[in-house]
């Protein structure tokens, strides 16, 4: 039954005497309903008496009427699961307060008051990991988006900025380190206890508050800013982890320098602390001066972290650091503006990583993430614009759309303006809105004014959901090439009619004979259809379009295979080369799956693909990092996205068959590439990383064609590995095979790294994502493993996210995979709703899956929806998915 619509839609819920009671839907929050808060809170004083079981909090707020808001006789102080122990107004106990849905409603008569409220919270039972919680004996906080209200009563909304002074006290032995935002201004001790007082001079919203208390050690360093100020830097971890923090610290210093050079942004406190915690719902959090990180994005050494882990750490450290300006100095007016800070900061971290390593490879990786995570969101029931119009639970909107598509939208502005003018736009934005809670509209206006762009129509990218489809055809007559472009922005839930949007497309027209083009051009398609002509082509050129992925769209074109082979080999834009290779393989797989290929056509396509891949292996002008990208097969999600309704079983079979065919044709080339790359010693430079990348890719193709040979090679790569990239790559291939080498290496891996949580996460994930035909059984057994727990989000993700992303297992035709994920959601929801709700989208794709499986997926969603006491998070995702 459709419980989403029943409580809210007028007339949609016909009350019947014998109908089961409907759960009450959490209220819908709407962007249009924004009103400024009636009160300002210039100062906030917090006093924490810390304990794992029980922490006593006294909050003293100075409040004053907000002249820019409607008069508010009652102040609403948000609370979640709190009980006020005492409420004082101007030092006098108040009795006239009431409670409303967890919030404290306090009538105030004057222009300004001091409010003091005491509460007691229980960090050790806080399994949601929002607010103040215990993790491995330490205390830490997570307040974005609405966690602060689980600590004390407060106007917990991003447009209420306050200056915080915080005192915390607790047992010295248990909590030798006491940290908060800003600068430590006083310390003291008495008996077994000690205290510290912190002051943050920068007004901030409550979601940026942070506190950490625990037995931690720090890697210490410093950074001198462009104006010559020395900033103390610390990366705090548990004692045994200190020697795995060097990369994090170096990444932080590189981020600080880069933001000065590229965006002119200087750090604004004398201290910057990072703390790593092992229980964390997300990657990391940008609390002012006290970033809290998931250990996954701090700890690394070559023995335990892969090259991807190293890159991830650099990117996330950069991301959180860059938030200091794009997020903290300028924050969001309300949560609908989340992409203001997240889209912009993702773009900033992407550009940073591009500059630190291989720019084209980073661009390809970012596009792959967008296609894997965001395109399905945009074409499914949870589609929303980068600036949503409504939500029930804001946690559900920390999405690939808000983050990654948000970054693409700003990247398009940068492409249209050029780097220099874009910088003028961002300078103006930082200047104009420093210290404010701003909107996406403020950002667009600043870019318009600063960069000199007209973004009137471009604003549609903020309000329209859905990935535009751009149709492309090229005709040739005489000396003229005519390019016809069309665009359709697909309907999405709640948005049936869409306007055409400006789509900046970088393109080049290649001369077939010379393999050269006369210069890259930028065309902006801003109508439903348009035509562009290009003179001076005696012969029909080869079109390279959406180079560098200049717009987040799907290109639909009928292009001869030989043109793709040409571009894959000759395009001077590395992204376009990758794209041509992907298109070559995707085009074939889509045709093969939809049954439109005869045996001869199939064989011819496979031969062409193998030849193109062989050319990539042989191309001496490529470095291995890029070679690896060109050799990657398109993921199953990407292939499924090309079809209206997909059959995961058939896609999997065709994709594996192509892999096997290529592996057979190129066996000797792949083995030679593996041997050549294996001679390189371990280094962290591009050559070293590239060598490791192509080694494992070679194994994956070989595994499809000749499992015994691949297994032997993988086992030897595993046994001789002196780094985690090689070892994990080899084990990934072995985990998918039924050979003798598999079990021994899996046991060895576990024994070798037992006790190292981040590596044991990999051990779970490798098995859950494996191609092994019994992967489902393995996942069930792993769920009963003593190291598995629903209380640690990293562990849950390592088993179940990996499983939900493993098409052959998750989409088992009998629906067992769907049942397992629904069971997980139901078991996890009462413990950690935020993480539980993140598993819903995998089942929510049912409309795009063949009818047999679709019915099974839907019925699992219905089973979840029917459960009593669902969290707001899961309720919203499940009901939207069933709508």
In a 10 Å sphere around its CB, with 0-12 CB exposed, 13-18 middle and 19+ buried, how is residue 496 labelled? Answer: exposed
Q: What is the closest distance, in whole angstroms, from the C-beta atom of residue 319 to Zn ion in the complex?
A: 5
Size of the site for Zn ion (CB under 5 A): 2
Which does residue 144 touch among Zn ion, ligand 0A1, none (CB within 5 to 8 A, set by kind)?
ligand 0A1
Phi, psi for residue 485 in degrees, rounded to 5: -120, 145
Q: Which is nearer to Zn ion, 119 or 291 (CB)?
A: 291
Q: Which is nearer to ligand 0A1, 57 or 285 (CB)?
A: 285
419 is catalytic: no
Site for Zn ion in 323-352 (CB under 5 A): 342, 345
Distance, CA of 414 to CA of 548 (rounded, Å)? 13
Token representation of residue 811: 């989409």
Q: What is the closest distance, in whole angstroms, from the C-beta atom of residue 285 to Zn ion in the complex?
A: 8
Which does residue 281 touch among ligand 0A1, Zn ion, none (CB within 5 to 8 A, set by kind)?
ligand 0A1
- Active-site position among 197, 286, 320, 377: 320
Handedness of CA 12, 17, 23, 24 (dihedral sign): positive
Q: Which is nearer to ligand 0A1, 283 or 614 (CB)?
A: 283
Query: Whose CB is nearest to ligand 0A1?
Result: 282
Q: Which is nearer to ligand 0A1, 597 or 790 (CB)?
A: 790
Quick check: 277 and 135 in contact, CB under 8 A?
yes
Q: What is the closest distance, in whole angstroms, from the C-beta atom of residue 181 to ligand 0A1 in the complex?
A: 15
Question: Please, which contacts does 310-314 make with residues 24 or more away whose CB atoms are closer than 8 Å?
Answer: 310/247, 310/684, 311/353, 311/357, 313/247, 313/248, 313/251, 314/247, 314/251, 314/254, 314/352, 314/353, 314/356
Which does residue 285 touch among Zn ion, ligand 0A1, none (CB within 5 to 8 A, set by kind)?
ligand 0A1
Strand partners, 542: 510
- Other Cβ atoms within 10 Å of 561 Cβ, number: 16
Residue 376: CB partners within 8 Å, gap ≥ 6? 637, 641, 841, 845
Distance, CA of 663 to CA of 204 (rounded, Å)? 56
Which does residue 861 touch among Zn ion, ligand 0A1, none (CB within 5 to 8 A, set by kind)?
none
Which does residue 273 touch among ligand 0A1, Zn ion, none (CB within 5 to 8 A, set by kind)?
none
Q: Which is nearer to Zn ion, 165 or 281 (CB)?
A: 281
Q: What is the closest distance, in whole angstroms, from the C-beta atom of residue 401 to ligand 0A1 in the complex?
A: 14
Kindly list the residues in this chain that would bind ligand 0A1 in the complex (CB under 6 A): 142, 144, 281-286, 319-320, 342, 398, 834
Distance, CA of 877 to CA of 836 (rounded, Å)? 10
Which does residue 398 touch among Zn ion, ligand 0A1, none (CB within 5 to 8 A, set by kind)?
ligand 0A1
Distance, CA of 840 to CA of 875 (rounded, Å)? 10
Q: Which is nearer to ligand 0A1, 309 or 654 (CB)?
A: 309
Q: What is the closest distance, in whole angstroms, from the C-beta atom of residue 286 to Zn ion in the complex?
A: 6
Q: What is the closest distance, in whole angstroms, from the C-beta atom of residue 388 to Zn ion in the complex?
A: 16
Distance, CA of 97 to CA of 104 (rounded, Å)? 7
Which does residue 291 touch among Zn ion, ligand 0A1, none (CB within 5 to 8 A, set by kind)?
none
Q: What is the closest distance, in whole angstroms, from the C-beta atom of residue 292 to Zn ion in the complex?
A: 13
Distance, CA of 17 to CA of 15 (rounded, Å)? 7
Residue with tokens 């007004």: 203
Given phi > 0 = left and psi -120 to 50 = alpha, else beta, which region is 746?
alpha
Q: Which is nearer to ligand 0A1, 286 or 442 (CB)?
A: 286
Quick check: 178 and 170 in contact, CB under 8 A?
yes
Distance, CA of 616 to CA of 574 (rounded, Å)? 12
Q: Which is nearer to Zn ion, 342 or 741 (CB)?
A: 342
Given phi > 0 = left and psi -120 to 50 = alpha, else beta, which region is 228?
left
Q: What is the closest distance, in whole angstroms, from the C-beta atom of residue 286 to ligand 0A1 in the complex?
A: 6
Q: Which residues are catalytic?
A: 320
Give residues in contact with Zn ion (CB under 5 A): 342, 345
């Amino acid at each position: 039954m459709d419980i989403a619509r029943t409580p809210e839609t007028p007339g949609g819920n016909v009350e019947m005497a014998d109908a089961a009671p409907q759960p009450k839907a959490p209220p819908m929050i709407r962007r249009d309903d924004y009103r400024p808060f009636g009160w300002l809170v210039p100062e906030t004083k917090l006093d924490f008496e810390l304990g794992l079981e029980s922490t006593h909090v006294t909050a003293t707020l100075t409040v004053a009427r907000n002249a820019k808001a409607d008069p508010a006789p009652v102040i609403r102080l948000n609370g979640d699961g709190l009980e006020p122990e005492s409420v004082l107004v101007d030092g006098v106990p108040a009795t006239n307060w009431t409670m409303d849905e967890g919030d404290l409603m306090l009538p105030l008569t004057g222009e300004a008051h001091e409010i003091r409220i005491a509460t007691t919270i229980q960090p050790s039972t806080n399994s949601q990991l929002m607010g103040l919680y215990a993790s491995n004996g330490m205390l830490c906080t997570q307040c974005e988006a609405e966690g602060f209200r689980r600590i004390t009563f407060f106007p917990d909304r991003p447009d209420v900025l306050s200056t915080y002074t915080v005192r915390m006290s607790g047992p010295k032995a248990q909590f030798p380190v006491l940290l908060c935002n800003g600068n430590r201004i006083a310390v003291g001790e008495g008996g077994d206890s000690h205290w510290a007082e912190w002051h943050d001079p920068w007004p901030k919203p409550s979601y940026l508050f942070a506190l950490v208390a625990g037995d931690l050690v720090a890697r210490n360093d410093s950074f001198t800013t462009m104006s010559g100020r020395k900033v103390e830097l610390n990366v705090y971890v548990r004692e045994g982890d200190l020697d795995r923090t060097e990369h994090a610290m170096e990444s932080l210093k590189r981020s600080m320098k880069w933001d000065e050079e590229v965006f002119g942004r200087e750090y604004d406190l004398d201290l910057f602390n990072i703390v790593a915690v092992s229980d964390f719902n997300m990657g990391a959090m940008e609390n002012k001066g006290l970033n809290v990180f998931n250990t996954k994005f701090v700890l690394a050494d070559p023995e335990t972290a892969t090259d991807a882990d190293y890159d991830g750490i650099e990117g996330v450290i950069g991301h959180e650091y860059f938030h200091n300006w794009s997020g903290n100095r300028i924050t969001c007016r309300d949560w609908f503006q989340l992409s203001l800070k997240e889209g912009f900061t993702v773009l900033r971290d992407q550009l940073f990583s591009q500059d630190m390593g291989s720019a084209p490879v980073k661009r390809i990786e970012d596009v792959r993430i967008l296609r894997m995570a965001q395109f399905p969101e945009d074409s499914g029931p949870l589609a929303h614009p980068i600036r949503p119009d409504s939500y029930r639970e804001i946690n559900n909107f920390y999405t690939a759309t808000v983050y990654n598509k948000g970054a693409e939208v700003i990247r398009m502005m940068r492409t249209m303006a050029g780097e220099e003018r874009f910088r003028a736009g961002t300078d103006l934005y930082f200047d104009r809105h420093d210290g404010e809670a701003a909107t996406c509209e403020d950002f667009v206006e600043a870019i318009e004014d600063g960069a000199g762009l007209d973004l009137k129509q471009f604003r549609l990218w903020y309000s329209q959901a859905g990935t535009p489809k751009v149709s492309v055809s090229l005709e040739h007559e005489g000396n003229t090439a005519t390019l016809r472009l069309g665009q359709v922005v697909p309907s999405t839930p709640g948005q049936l009619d869409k306007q055409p949007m400006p789509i900046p497309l970088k393109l080049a027209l290649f001369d077939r004979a010379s393999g050269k083009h006369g210069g890259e051009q930028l065309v902006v398609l801003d109508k439903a259809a348009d035509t562009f002509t290009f003179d001076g082509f005696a012969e029909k050129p080869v079109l390279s379009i959406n180079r560098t992925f200049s717009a987040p769209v799907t290109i639909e074109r009928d292009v001869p295979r030989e043109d793709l082979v040409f571009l894959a080999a000759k395009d001077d834009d590395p992204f376009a080369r990758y794209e041509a290779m992907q298109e070559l393989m995707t085009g074939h797989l889509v045709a093969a799956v939809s049954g439109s290929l005869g045996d001869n056509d199939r064989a011819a396509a496979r031969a062409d693909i193998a030849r193109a891949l062989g050319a990539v292996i042989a191309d001496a002008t490529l470095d291995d990092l890029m070679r690896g990208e060109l050799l990657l097969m398109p993921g199953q999600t990407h292939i499924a996205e090309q079809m209206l309704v997909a059959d995961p079983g058939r896609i999997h079979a065709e994709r594996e068959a192509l892999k096997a065919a290529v592996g057979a044709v190129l066996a000797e080339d792949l083995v030679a590439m593996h041997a050549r790359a294996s001679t390189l010693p371990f280094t962290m430079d591009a050559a070293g990383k590239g060598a490791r990348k192509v080694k494992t890719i070679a194994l994956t193709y070989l595994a499809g064609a000749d499992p015994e040979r691949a297994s032997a090679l993988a086992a030897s790569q595993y046994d001789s590995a002196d780094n985690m990239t090689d070892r994990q790559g080899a084990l990934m291939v072995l985990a998918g095979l039924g050979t003798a080498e598999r079990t021994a290496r899996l046991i060895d891996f576990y024994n070798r790294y037992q006790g190292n949580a981040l590596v044991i996460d990999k051990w779970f994930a490798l098995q859950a994502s494996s191609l092994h035909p019994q992967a489902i059984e393995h996942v069930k057994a792993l769920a009963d493993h003593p190291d598995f727990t629903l209380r640690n989000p990293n562990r849950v993700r390592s088993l179940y996210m990996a499983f939900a992303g493993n098409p052959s297992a998750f989409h088992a035709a009998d629906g067992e995979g769907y049942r397992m994920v629904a069971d997980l959601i139901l078991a996890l929801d009462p413990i950690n709703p935020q993480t539980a709700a993140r598993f819903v989208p995998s089942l929510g794709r049912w409309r795009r899956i063949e009818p047999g499986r679709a019915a099974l997926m839907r019925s699992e969603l219905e089973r979840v929806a029917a459960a009593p006491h669902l969290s707001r998070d899961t309720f919203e995702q499940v009901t939207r998915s069933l709508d």
